[in-house]
Structure 1
Amino acid sequence: MEAVTALTSAKLTPLPDRWRLDTQAELLAEARAAEALGPDQYWEWAARHMRWMRPWDELRNGELGDFRYYAGGLLNVADNCVDRHAENPATADRDAVIWEGEPGDVRRITYRELREQVARCANGLRSLGVNRSDVVAIYLTNLLEAFVAIHACNRIGAIYTVLFAGFAPEAVALRLAASRAKVVVTADAAWRRGRAVPLLANLRSARAGIGTLRHTVVVDRTGSKPNLQPSEVGWDALLTQQTADCPCVALEANDPAFLIFTSGTESKPKGVVHSSAGFLIGTWANVQWQVGPQPDDIYWCAADVGWLTFPIQAVIGGLAHAMTLFCFEGALDYPDRMRVLDMAQRHGVTKILVAPTGLRMLRAAGDDVVRAKRPPRLRLITAQGEPLDPETAEWTERILDVPVINAYGQTETGSTWTYPVHGVDPTKPGSCGTPVPGHAYTVLDDLGRPVAAGTRGNLVLTAPFPTLARTIWDDPDRYQATYFSRFPGAYATSDEAVLDRDGQIWVLGRADDVINVAAHRISTMEIEGAAAASPGVAEAAVVGVNDAVRGTMPVAFITLRQGAEQKVVRADVSAAVERAIGGIARLRQVYVVTALPKTRAGKVMRRLLREAAETGSVRGDLTGLDDPAALDFVLEAVRSAG
């Protein structure tokens, strides 16, 4: 395996004094002192920040693949995220969530109000026959009701599963059947890019033949006053009939809290299961180190509720800190790219989490435009979900004058676990920093041997931690085979990474995103980083396509910055890639497009780009595609290039 140098040569930069957080440094020192006594002692330290109904008997038993944390301990997630803040005079009347719909309507809910709504919803679910350990599906976009419904499930010990609002009926049906959901919460519709997405109609198509599904609770989001069918009940009508008296159920720390289906279109969806206490405590820690909560923060997790980042950073982790969260319903670039900054300024947002694609979207608007729109209270950008190229990281810090925290994690890990601690650690643009307390990893070659610094390998985790998924719903054998069979004694992320000379982790992307060009393995992230650094490029996505001579060759899809000349930029990109990586990475083609196809979470759908480049058409599954027009732009570019 050849050394990787193009991405990792940046200089490790100490944090400027203006970005330092003394209280964060003090708390981190306390956490590291606990960790020095043993990794589990750190997790004991973290658990002491929660309210327990009964202390645990055993801190941890078991190892990777089969373990339990806080065995015998009892708590409730809603109690920790909602009730204890509603009972505290200092936070009871603090806004828990500030919400804006795509049309511009705004709603707010305090912790005191949230507690009442959660209790009423919990009683409403019980009136529909939902008992402890029953599954409730939440098929909603980013609405206040999503926060309420999730914590209503937490309150009574029901298991919730959030279904991505962009799923088509077939995808919804598969997940309803696989989860055995008893009740589903949805809306009549949701606003997305100026049109109403028909959630209720999609659900009605999906639920036929789902024998376990008994009731549907419908939020009237658009004011359409839908004609409800016999098994359907209106959200407002249900909650109005209930009392706000609903004590939190005491749950054992390892009881399942929720299941979430990983992305993909398998005939049998893979639902990973997260535990009650483990996910709560791990996400509390995740938000602490990644975001550094401060009393006056208004934190915006600019993700979709169907992406696990949203429960981690907002619904569970954010509320566990009594933060004020901003939540937006619609597309970040609708009606224009400045919607993000306009809303952040309007609502006084201090910290934003966004997928790297969202930052590249801003960059395409032009430096002067973005600089002029900088929200005055903004003090952090944190990114995750896909690789962040160094060029975009440097641009964001320079133009928005904020630190950029690049974090890495997965649906299965239940949190991000490697990144520079906000307000404390030095940064290196594009890297994922170093592991935060409580996590251990290594990088292995394909034979399971540790690789030297500077060499690409397989990223694995070598010790258990509370937020790691405990099983796959109804398929424990698949859990073992998927994550623990390739490298015995370790959790396989299926991502490739490299450790640089400064001890920084660089995640290169999925192992299947590494392309083999004439027997040389090259990460698409390496090529994208070089392409994005080219003047005039706003966004770049690189995929490997079949080639009769070289096996695979990379092609790039790019969008242009304002005022850039297409012909010049295409030539610059090709030259930049060869200059940074070498002739082996020579691009077969550079396609200039108006927009890239993305999911609602902001991830570029590279499988669609690959199919378009190879066949000139796309017949694969379009589930999750945010803006179909972007795919039209891609196909037009490919066909025009001939």
Structure 2
Amino acid sequence: MSDAGTDSLAQLLDTPTVPLPPEWTVPDRVRELAEARALGGPDAYWEWVAGKQRWSTPWTTVRTGEIDDFRFFEGGKINVADNCVDRWAEDPATAGRAAVVWEGEPGDTRTLTYAELADEVDRLAAGLAGLGVAKGEVVAIYMPNLVEAFTAIHACNRIGAIYTVLFSGFGEEAVASRIQAARAKVVVVADAIYRRGKPVELLSTLRAARGRTPSVEATVVVDRTGDAVPLETGEHGYAAICESGSAGIDAVPLDPNEPSFLIFTSGTESRPKGVVHSVGGFLLGTWANAHWQAGYEPGDVYWVAADVGWLTFPIQAVVGGLACGMTIACFEGALDTPTTARFYEVCERHAVTKVLCAPTLVRMLRKFGDELAAEHPLPRLKLVTVQGEPLDADTFGWATSTLGVPVVNAYGQTETGSTWTYPVYGAEDLKPGSVGTPVPGHAYEILDDHGNPVPAGTKGHLVLTAPFPTLARTVWDDHQRYLDTYFSRFPGKYATNDEAVLDHDGHIWVLGRADDVINVAAHRISTMEIEAVVTAHPGVVEAAVVGVPDTTKGTVPVAFVTLAPDADETAVRAEVDAEVMTEIGGYARPAAIHVTPSMPKTRTGKLMRRLLRDVIVYGGATGDTSAMDDPAALDTVIAVVKDT
């Protein structure tokens, strides 16, 4: 691998550690983490994690096989809903604890205790069984962040059905292709959702897609709007299905290696890729993930400010968070609606203590300004943890100083089923922008193009070298695609397809997708490295850098930036241009810097860089835009580029 751009890593690698002050340190977690790290290897650690769960039948073997073909806890039987819901509902000390605290965008709220959640899950599970859903059959869940997303997922878990969550922003083609690929027997759908002050219909979209989904035998409709939409043949009201299951149904003991759910990772322009996660593997890994990344403390209200269609939500909220007995806050709508104070108001209203989000949300708060933050102090807030895309040092600094809490930056993927490297909350020092060190139970390497480990300070391909329970087990209906995608490049090791570098303090820095490494006149560099320099400018609150074709240089970087309200556009352009040339070199100089007040993002807040690339190359979007939050943002970018 070329070392082009290594000089640009120097400042990153010299980033000083931020020691945890006493008020951010949790002594019990420091002790527990030390004990977990001393257990003697990944398998011993995962056995410790398994001992924290409730099993129907004890396991006989911790692990068999290697990373490309493995099984955990052979002989054991377990149920996810039993661990996430029943065990807390049955304990008098926790039955009355709030499990889900929900707020809709119009301002309506609902809270379910663990006892109430268990009752609704039980009745819905029995109702689904009454519709003919059996163990191993697929249920599609097409809805936004509603309480019914929690109940539907755990109703499936209770009876051993396989679920797949469809993003509520998907259109007809995206919905049809995923239901068809999953061969879903039943779909649970909300009639509509509220987004940016207006209802967005889902049921009508599903109905339009039904002609291409012959496997679907029944639809369960959640009346989100209260409009009592007339139901068609094969459609059943959610309340009626729960009523039909009032007798309840026992939780089904399952092999921990059986499929639990599918999550699709590709757009509709090609055959959707359904990544398969396992029953016990996902439960154990997400319990550990929520335990270390957020850490339950008495009185906590953990707000996972993500969409249920982003795997982070099941990891940290629906499965991992509830498995830890946490109170999960859930919000339906857009965090700048009806005003930019909505984030702070949700935190205040529900006494939120910990927040998980994409870094883009923190950058959005920074853009909204210090004055707004000062008007809404959050004395109960103890943690902000971010994941999903790179965290720049300036955003880290703003959040730690303005919000007054530690910012834990975590890294993982859909396929890993959890984040696996980050500074453990309350126990480990922070370093702005890095993703810390691997948590127990995970092993990795950074390799050159030939598969040889590289020394600290040298960027390379990030791979995982030991199996762990949450790692995806296959691709639905195409195991060879699974092997080819993740294990062919470096046999015997899982390829993340991300580039990374290890600094001399042992912290990992993820530099971005290997396919985001561009070749500019024979110089290889990650667009994320350029982006880090651009976002370091004090006048830039958000930036995205993409590589676009160039007839002379092959590929050139183009930057999109959103500025602080008081920033001078002309000065920022010149200073960013000069800074990139100074820190990286002339070859990394952006061919253009487009200043735009907004950029296309998913509802989770992740920047949609491929759409920015499309605007430059084609003049508009060419791929699937169904995951985009606000279509007007893309129109804004198109107009900015045309006017430049």
TM-score when normalising by structure 1? 0.98
Aligned-residue offset at 1:577: 2.1
Secondary structure at 1:7 match in 2? helix
Q: Is the 8 A contact 1:598 1:625 kept in 2?
A: yes
1:621 aligned partner: 624
1:320 aligned partner: 323
| Alignment equivalent of 2:241, drawn from 234, 238, 245 | 238
After superposition, give the CA deviation of every residue in 1:478-526 in whole Å (9 maximum; x if it has no partner). 1111111110010001111111111110011111111111111111111
Q: Is the 8 A contact 2:140 2:188 kept in 1?
A: yes
Q: Distance in 2 between matches of 1:138 and 1:308?
A: 13
The one-letter code sitting in structure 2 at the alignment partner of 1:228 is L
For the aligned residue pairs, the C-alpha RMSD in angstroms reads: 1.2
Q: Distance in 2 between matches of 1:161 and 1:372?
A: 41
Aligned-residue offset at 1:531: 1.0
1:418 aligns with 2:421: yes
Q: Is the 8 A contact 1:131 1:156 kept in 2?
A: yes
Q: Is the 8 A contact 2:344 2:376 kept in 1?
A: yes
Q: What pairs up with 1:274-285 in 2 under 5 angstroms?
A: 274-285=277-288
Secondary structure at 1:207 match in 2? helix
Q: Is the 8 A contact 1:393 1:404 kept in 2?
A: yes
| Alignment equivalent of 1:457, drawn from 432, 437, 460 | 460
1:187 aligns with 2:190: yes
1:138 aligns with 2:141: yes
Q: Is the 8 A contact 1:261 1:271 kept in 2?
A: yes
| Alignment equivalent of 1:210, drawn from 210, 213, 226 | 213
Aligned-residue offset at 1:266: 4.4
1:382 aligns with 2:385: yes
Runs of 4+ in structure 1 over 4 Å off: none
| Inter-CA distance 177–615: structure 2 relative to 1 (3 Å threshold) | closer
Q: What pairs up with 1:600-619 in 2 under 5 angstroms?
A: 600-619=603-622
Q: Which runs of 5+ in 1 are unaligned?
A: none
Q: What pairs up with 1:548-627 in 2 under 5 angstroms?
A: 548-627=551-630
Q: Distance in 1 between matches of 2:522 and 2:398?
A: 34
Q: Percent of counterpart pairs with the same letter?
A: 61
Q: Distance in 2 between matches of 1:621 and 1:161?
A: 19
Q: What pairs up with 1:487-506 in 2 under 5 angstroms?
A: 487-506=490-509
1:481 aligned partner: 484
Secondary structure at 2:224 match in 1? coil
1:367 aligns with 2:389: no
Q: Is the 8 A contact 2:125 2:248 kept in 1?
A: no
After superposition, give the CA deviation of every residue in 1:168-226 in whole Å (9 maximum; x if it has no partner). 11011111011110000001100111121110011011121322110000001011211
Q: Distance in 1 between matches of 2:247 and 2:339?
A: 41
Aligned-residue offset at 1:574: 1.8
1:269 aligned partner: 272
Aligned-residue offset at 1:23: 1.4
Q: Distance in 2 between matches of 1:555 and 1:370?
A: 32
2:252 aligned partner: 249
Aligned-residue offset at 1:30: 2.0
Q: Distance in 1 between matches of 2:12 and 2:230?
A: 56
| Alignment equivalent of 1:26, drawn from 31, 34, 52 | 31
2:262 aligned partner: 259
Q: Distance in 1 between matches of 2:340 and 2:587?
A: 36
After superposition, give the CA deviation of every residue in 1:428-450 in whole Å (9 maximum; x if it has no partner). 10000000000000011111111
Q: Distance in 1 between matches of 2:24 and 2:382?
A: 8
Q: What pairs up with 1:327-342 in 2 under 5 angstroms?
A: 327-342=330-345
After superposition, give the CA deviation of every residue in 1:49-92 in whole Å (9 maximum; x if it has no partner). 00111100111000111100001101110000000100111110
1:197 aligns with 2:200: yes
The one-letter code sitting in structure 2 at the alignment partner of 1:528 is E
| Inter-CA distance 409–112: structure 2 relative to 1 (3 Å threshold) | same
| Inter-CA distance 19–457: structure 2 relative to 1 (3 Å threshold) | same
After superposition, give the CA deviation of every residue in 1:596-631 in whole Å (9 maximum; x if it has no partner). 100112111111101112333333321211101101
1:228 aligns with 2:236: no
Q: Distance in 1 between matches of 2:32 and 2:247?
A: 36
Q: Is the 8 A contact 1:495 1:507 kept in 2?
A: yes
Q: Is the 8 A contact 2:269 2:623 kept in 1?
A: no
1:82 aligns with 2:78: no
Secondary structure at 1:5 match in 2? helix
Secondary structure at 2:329 match in 1? strand
Q: Distance in 1 between matches of 2:12 and 2:37?
A: 29
| Inter-CA distance 97–466: structure 2 relative to 1 (3 Å threshold) | same
Q: Distance in 1 between matches of 2:42 and 2:538?
A: 45
Aligned-residue offset at 1:320: 0.5
Q: Is the 8 A contact 1:15 1:427 kept in 2?
A: yes
Aligned-residue offset at 1:387: 1.0
1:56 aligns with 2:59: yes
Q: Is the 8 A contact 1:121 1:148 kept in 2?
A: yes
Aligned-residue offset at 1:253: 1.2
Q: Distance in 2 between matches of 1:543 and 1:481?
A: 27
Aligned-residue offset at 1:299: 0.2
Secondary structure at 1:623 match in 2? coil
Q: Is the 8 A contact 1:136 1:159 kept in 2?
A: yes
Q: Is the 8 A contact 2:170 2:627 kept in 1?
A: yes
1:17 aligns with 2:22: yes
Q: Is the 8 A contact 2:269 2:624 kept in 1?
A: no
Compare 238-247 and 533-542 and name the one that shifted more: 238-247
Q: Which runs of 5+ in 2 are unaligned?
A: none
Q: Distance in 2 between matches of 1:520 and 1:453?
A: 21
The one-letter code sitting in structure 2 at the alignment partner of 1:32 is R
